[in-house]
Amino acid sequence: MRIHFLPSLGCAALTLLGASCSSFTENDRVCTAEFRYGLTVTVLDSATGAVDFSGARGTIQDGDYTDSLTAVGDAANIRALVGAGERQGTYTVRVTKPGYEPWVKHNVQVTHDGCHVRGVPLDARMVRLTVMD
């Protein structure tokens, strides 16, 4: 097993963390305190390909577990909808947006590497509702 996520740390930095280089073997795993999301969703207009988060909301479900996706960025500049923070599972991801058909993706696998989840990026290509006369 390799040492994960801290490959650029030298012996001096490891000593500051309370360990010496000789105390680490190939079977040790060093994890960061970083928090990672398992799902990152970009919302796009399917016809234009333009990124558009205005009014978009999302949920995730894994068995009995349900949660809302969280917008990342400020209100004027949302960069992503994220969820499944440090939680592995098999998710159904739903995104809704006014004026668009709901977008659903089933069986999205979020795995864990022993330290953190491995993030899965998704593009929610939203289809505009057609207006009937």
CA angle 34, 106, 113 (to 5 degrees): 30
Write out the CATH class of domain 37-126: mainly beta
Q: Which helix (H) or strand (E) holds 13?
A: helix 11-16
Give the contacts of 17 (CB within 8 A, at least 6 positions apart).
9
Q: pLDDT tens string for the chain (133 positions)?
A: 333 444 444 444 444 555 544 555 556 778 999 999 999 999 999 999 999 999 999 999 999 999 999 999 887 789 999 999 999 999 999 999 999 999 999 999 999 999 999 999 999 999 999 877 6
CA distance 71 to 95: 12
Say what the pLDDT of residue 74 is. Answer: 83
- Going from N- to C-terminal start, the domains of the chain cover 1-33, 37-126
pLDDT single digits (tens) 53-82: 999 999 999 999 999 999 998 877 899 999
Look up the pTM and report it. Answer: 0.76
